[in-house]
Amino acid sequence: MKVRQACEAGVPLPQALTQRAVQGPRFISQAELPAGVAYEAHIFDTGSVPTREGLHDFFNGLCWMRFPLTKRRLNQLQAAEIATAGVGQVRGPVRDGLTLFDENAALLQAPDALWDALLARDWTRLLVDLRPLWAQARLVLFGHALLEKLVVPYKSITAHVLREPVPLALGDDLAAWDAWLAQTLHAPLLASKPFTPLPVLGVPGWWPANEDPAFYADTGVFRPQRVAGA
């Protein structure tokens, strides 16, 4: 039984996730997280993910199933930072980058021309002029908060696309993407906030309204590149 079906049948979310997780961790109720113990440290020490009922943790659990190696890598990096600096009111640049990736990242495999336009935030070229090239691209959403937002979509939902292009040689094998990504991510990289924005409902084929080029004229969503010193 799939996770959603199990939950609709009354199975608690942690149990439903654990039943479906092949490579992933065990999921436990949030109430089982001991008082005073950091969430990420608990996962690292026990291999168990405290989970609340609701869409946010539902998508987090699905991400553990889809990208088990990467989720473990993120947890290892979080736990290392906590062991070094503890848990304070300010996370620090590494944990900030880790959290941003975990919550809102997306991965892009695409021809160079699309990457060039994306990094330049040349939205018209990226999403109108080069529209046919998107047939050769694949955008995969990683962040569980990002996925949660898309349950009730709105135009300004923006992903943080990792600036490391997914190698074309990996094809559409998400297990290979997972292995590559787990090896790619490290603390200095994430501390640098290696992301570029992409309003996901502007991606060709993702939203009916974007068939009209006027969709991209909204500069409140499709913001131009900032000019240094401006």
Q: Summarize pLDDT for 71-128 with one digit per residue, the tens.
A: 999 999 999 999 887 766 667 899 999 999 999 999 999 999 999 999 999 999 999 9
Percent of the chain with pLDDT over 90: 87
Task: Establish if 75 belongs to a structural domain.
Answer: no
Task: Establish if 152 belongs to a structural domain.
Answer: yes
C-beta of residue 66 within 8 angstroms of C-beta of residue 106: no
Task: Establish if 81 belongs to a structural domain.
Answer: no
Higher pLDDT, 169 or 86: 169
Looking at 47, 66, 85, the residue that finishes a domain is 66
- Helix, strand, coil share (%) of the chain residues, nearest 5: 55, 10, 35
Looking at 45, 66, 87, the residue that finishes a domain is 66
What sign does the CA torsion over 221, 224, 225, 230 have?
negative
- 164, 209, 203: which is closest to 182 by C-alpha? 164
- pLDDT for 24 equals 72
Q: Domain count of the chain?
A: 2
- pLDDT for 187 equals 96
Range of the domain at 180: 101-217
- How far is 21 from 90, CA to CA, in rounded Å? 33
Higher pLDDT, 25 or 178: 178
Residue 230 pLDDT > 70 = no
The helix (run of H) or strand (run of E) holding residue 106 is strand 105-109
pTM for the structure as a whole: 0.92
- pLDDT for 225 equals 82
Task: Establish if 84 belongs to a structural domain.
Answer: no
The neighbour count for residue 113, using CB atoms within 10 Å, is 14
